[in-house]
Chain A
Amino acid sequence: MQGHRPQTMGWTPIPEAMTMEISRPSVTASQITALPSPCPCGVIKAEAFSLYYGQKVGVRNVSMEIYPCTVTAIIGPSGCGKSTFLRSINRMNDLIPGVRTEGRLLLDGHDIYDKRTNLVSLRQQVGMVFQRPNPFPKSIFDNVAYGPRLQGIRNRMQLQQIVEQSLRAAALWNEVKDGLNKSALALSGGQQQRLCIARALATRPRILLMDEPCSALDPIATGRIEDLIEQLKASYTIVIVTHNMQQAARISQWTAFFCLGELIEYDRTERIFSNPTNKQTEDYISGRFG
């Protein structure tokens, strides 16, 4: 498989994170250390970024830098703009009529909201996983191959290779390898969410946005996704919105606390959860607010 890697298409394999064999961490570790480049992840930087839905404030005056190859959790009460901020990064908010932005939001130094930004390539660099698993009503193979096909990859062998690598990276390969032509809707909720992650990985993004990816899943499936995030953070910049404090504490290195559209506090996760500087943050984390 690795030997047939077509370098001409610029495709580098996604590191395999075999969640099914978590008891054998040596395999995973060796896979990750064998990465071709140390860190290809993207850097996101918000400079006084605001987004309005008409007159309504989505996020206001956010300035922060999201560091590469880390997991950044965004927490905050409902309606505080954390999802809005997340969706700003791949411009999913464009679908909503009357959206306008102020300030700048930079991906590797390029303004995402620049008029010249190629939406297609932006979204291929910034993958997204949604709150509810939303696989297409197609086969597992077609789901994962959707992104590569959009990029113009038609070669069946190459597609198979990408699909396998993506599914391995999403720790789903061992469960579905015998039924790639089965409908994605026949999978369980947790499997569907991992399939959505595999689908997002197949476009070779550098940033992975996750909008409450575990809120519709049971604890076991949630555990698997968290393990997966743990594996993936070496190769991707991951931004995850979550309502679950423990989850944020478990998986993230950095945590941002949003409230009423504003960024209240942004720091290393240990500090946010152990010693927040802001009273609001402390109240929220300790459950007295929100």
Chain B
Amino acid sequence: MRLALRLAIDKAFTAATAIAVIGLAGLLIAVLGPMVAGGAQAVIFTSTIEFRRMQLNLYNRGDHDQITRQIARASAARQKVYDLIDEFKQGIDTQYLADQVRRIHRQFGQELKERDITGPTYAELRAISAQIRDRLEHALHTDDQDIWRADLDYVLGFSSDSRLIGTAAEAYFRIARQLKQATNGLDLSMRSQYALALKELEDILQELLGPRPSSAAPPLLRQQYGATRWDQAQRLLHRLLYQTKWVEQGRGRPLVRMEVPRRQRFEGTCLEQLFDYVPNHIRDMLLPRLTFYWQFFIDDSLESHTFGGVGPEVLGSILITLMAMAVAVPLGIASAAYLAETRSTGLPIRIIRMCINTLAGVPSIVFGLFGLAFFVLTFLPALGLGARPSILAAGLTLAVLSMPVMIRSSEEAIKAVPSTYKEAALALGAGPLRTFLTVTFPAALPGILTGIILSLSRVAGETAPVLFTGAVAMGPIPKSILQPTRTLAYGSYDMAVGDRIAELSPHNQYGMVLTLVMLILSLNAMAIILRARASAKLRGH
């Protein structure tokens, strides 16, 4: 019985530990999975012709002739959309038409004078023109369908007047006919609302397809190109087809989000067919194609990460990490060697140990402020290097941050070297320095490298210490270590808290975070390979 119970307890323990490991693995996948999936989107995605146009214009990448041909093909498919909008505008944009009507009246008067028509004929024709003008303007400003029709019919009644045929006045009838056609089925009282809805539609179309070929280039780079990514295009298409409304459910109750087909607002008008045409021809308009955008890792970003990659961030992170390691590794190992080899157990040594242990647990923002106060504002100016954030200051700050951990782990590694090695070296006549360099250090190297790996990962991913000492969200690629740089960790933070950039280009934010993880992983992999080689050498393989 007792044996059975003990066996059961043993099994339960094994099961519990196995579940813990599985849970941990699951958690890891749950955390990393979406990030990897999101980050991969920054590199492997379906691009549109707008992306290729952007790459050609901004980075001079791709086959110029081929892209030009594709742009022409896409433009042909888009033309129908623009035609439909222009046609619909006719019935809506009354101010523009009213201006035109007045201009026609003036032109007609001018023409009569040029044809030397004077006296009563002139007065009569002028009166007719004025009448037509007034009736058209009247029609353009009315909300009443009957008055509208009566006015237009009255104007069109003059169209058979032989005195008007072949003159500028013919333009009146063209407008009248167009109006009659365009507003077929149009509720005139809704005209201002149509204008608003049309404006919305045009804005979405601009985001989707880019600015109209005829219009002037918008000032912002991101407005000069439509949806560069197919997933983005599909989101915009959805926004084009459905309007989001917040509907009140009752007093004191939260608003409910509802999606209403946008088509409803244009029911019965010529624009209705747009809602069939766009979804059916979106592929022709954007020419999607699977793209492997590996240049993401080396490209500079444009307009705060709307376009481009994370090249400068990668460079900055590597520079700052190397800077920190170049300072922290020699200092840390030397300190660890002293602490491990010293035979003193006096108060100073104990205080130093306590300080190191405490520093290892200090929040990184404290190191950031320390770095600002000491390195940026005191130390570097004292050397005549100018009081401003720089790679050097950030590297030194991170070195200070990483040293406690490095000292602790290196000290343990050095202490773990069997004393028989040291005895053997001493018995052969080696001094303490020689013993350390030729025997203790090589034997402790795997353990020391473990400490370096841990520090490296921490340093490469730190945000707070570089916040004040060397990182910027935007800025040129640094030309020396005395200039600040962008870093992956700080960039991710800035994108998350900055503005709508993360919302506009979530793939870039994910991509940046994934790049950071990959950078740390590859730095670690290098250190792990080094460690494996060092310890294989120690084991005698």
Contacts and interface: CB of A to CB of B under 8 A. Distances in A.
Nearest to B427: A128
Interface stretch (A13-21, A156-164, A183-191): A183-191
A183 B423 contact: no
Nearest to B431: A120
Given A92-B423, A130-B420, A185-B540, A200 B428 contact: yes
Given A130-B420, A136-B421, A136-B439, A95 B426 contact: yes
Given A130-B420, A134-B421, A182 B540 contact: yes
Given A97-B343, A134-B421, A150-B434, A183 B540 contact: yes
Contacts of B537: 137, 183
Interface in B417-461: 418, 420-421, 423-431, 434, 438-439, 442-443
B422 to A, nearest CB: 8
Given A150-B434, A183-B539, A183-B541, A136 B429 contact: no
A231 interface: no
A124 B434 CA distance: 15
Interface string A149-189: 01100000000000000000000000000000011111000
B423 A146 contact: no
Interface string A113-154: 000000111111001101010111110000000110011000
Interface string B526-541: 0000000000011111
Contact of A90 (B427, B430, B540): B427
A200 B538 contact: no
B428 A134 contact: no
Contact of B423 (A122, A127, A134): A134
Contacts of B431: 120
Contacts of A203: 428-429
Q: Which one of B418, B428, B541 has the highest number of Cβ atoms from chain A below 10 Å of its Cβ?
A: B428
A133 to B, nearest CB: 9
A224 interface: no
Contact of B420 (A119, A132, A151): A132
Contacts of A123: 426-429
B429 A130 contact: no
A82 interface: no
Contacts of A104: none
A199 interface: yes
A121 B430 CA distance: 10
Given A92-B427, A119-B429, A123-B429, 4 more contacts: A92-B423, A120-B430, A134-B424, A203-B429
Interface of B: 343, 418, 420-421, 423-431, 434, 438-439, 442-443, 537-541
Interface residues of A, number: 32
Interface of A: 90, 92, 95, 97, 119-124, 127-128, 130, 132, 134-138, 146-147, 150-151, 182-186, 196, 199-200, 203
A112 to B, nearest CB: 14
B2 to A, nearest CB: 41
Nearest to A96: B343
B281 to A, nearest CB: 71
Contact of A185 (B423, B427, B539): B539
> What are the 7 tightest A-B residue pairs by CB atom distance, in nearest-first order?
A183-B540, A185-B540, A134-B420, A128-B427, A123-B429, A137-B538, A186-B540
A130 B537 CA distance: 23
A97 B346 CA distance: 13
B428 A137 contact: no
A186 B536 CA distance: 12
Contacts of A121: 429
Contacts of B438: 146
A130 B424 contact: yes
Contacts of B343: 97
A54 B328 CA distance: 39
Contact of A147 (B420, B429, B439, B541): B429
Contact of A130 (B423, B538, B540): B423
Contacts of B541: 183, 186
Contacts of B443: 136-137
Contacts of B418: 134
Contact of B428 (A95, A124, A186): A124
Contacts of B538: 137, 185
A74 B439 CA distance: 30
10 contacts: A120-B430, A123-B427, A124-B429, A127-B427, A127-B428, A130-B420, A138-B442, A150-B430, A185-B539, A185-B540
Contacts of A97: 343
Contacts of B429: 119-124, 147, 150-151, 203
Contacts of A128: 427
A186 B421 CA distance: 16
A79 to B, nearest CB: 19
A155 to B, nearest CB: 19
A184 B540 contact: yes
A182 B538 CA distance: 11
Nearest to A199: B428
Contacts of B434: 150
Nearest to A149: B438
Nearest to A126: B427
B505 to A, nearest CB: 53
B538 to A, nearest CB: 4
A130 B419 CA distance: 12
Nearest to B428: A147
Contacts of B420: 130, 132, 134
A136 B418 CA distance: 10
B349 to A, nearest CB: 13
